[in-house]
Amino acid sequence: MPITTFVTLILSVLAAAAITAFAINEWGVPVVLPILMVLALVARWAMSRVTLDDGHS
């Protein structure tokens, strides 16, 4: 992994944590928690393996 990719990953995680902390302080946990859960499910879906398609086109 190149150093620029690693640094970008670290900065992205820090930015996400800061935005999450701000949102929790601003709107509260009951509003932010469902949004975080949806984002986690979307990320899980986006990173899942794709099965091989052996269909005929």
> What would the pLDDT profile of 9-42 be if each residue is shown by its tens digit?
999 999 999 999 999 999 999 999 999 999 999 9
Q: Is residue 57 part of a domain?
A: no
Q: Is residue 14 part of a domain?
A: yes
Q: Is residue 32 part of a domain?
A: yes
Q: Is residue 52 part of a domain?
A: no
Buried-exposed string 30-45: b where 16+ CB fall within 10 A, e elsewhere: eebeeeeeeeeeeeee
Query: What's the structural domain count of the chain?
Result: 1
CA distance 52 to 2: 30
CA distance 46 to 38: 12
* Structural domain for 28, as ranges: 3-46
Secondary structure element (H or E) that encloses residue 19, with its range: helix 3-27
Tokens of 10: 């670290």
56 pLDDT band (50/70/90 cuts)? low
Q: Is residue 51 part of a domain?
A: no
